[in-house]
Amino acid sequence: MTSSLPANEYDRLMGQFNGLPGSQQTRPSIVRSSQFTGETETWIITTFRRSDDEGAETWVFLEHVNAAGSQRFVLPPKVVATVQKQHEALVRRARRSSAKAAAQTRKANGVTPFQRKEATNG
């Protein structure tokens, strides 16, 4: 009797990461959402991080289930890194916008910005 490897990438990679020395995984997170039409969909997200002598890689496994069926996706490290960079860029943009709005509010309220005191000798 011969054992065959899984035919799809999702099963093959999931099998490789499970129990692999130097890898860690999150517990699967389940996200359910309902559309205004009443249709429900479920996302199951599991993240693996693999470390070796060359560095660390993060892989994300997604399962999407709705009335039409199910789909499974594997996001490789380059895609995960790109999503993370885009998220960080949006956070920076939001913080910058919030800080500018707060500065305008302080200015409108007559609050002067912090200024360093001159050093005195004596």
Confidence class of residue 2 from pLDDT cuts 50, 70 and 90? low
13-17, 80-84, 114-118, range with the lowest pLDDT? 114-118
| Average confidence (pLDDT) over 35-43 | 90
Q: Is the pLDDT of residue 40 over 60?
A: yes
Contact of 64 with 43, CB cutoff 8 Å = yes
The residues spanned by each domain of the chain are: 1-75, 78-107
Q: Is the pLDDT of residue 114 over 80?
A: no
pTM of the model: 0.71
> What does the pLDDT look like over 54-81, one tens digit per residue?
778 999 999 999 999 999 999 999 999 9
Strand pairing category for 40-52 and 55-66: antiparallel
Q: Is the pLDDT of residue 92 over 80?
A: yes
b/e per residue, 33-64, with b = 16+ CB within 10 A? eeeeeeeeeeebebbbbbeeeeeebbbbbebb
113 or 89, higher pLDDT? 89
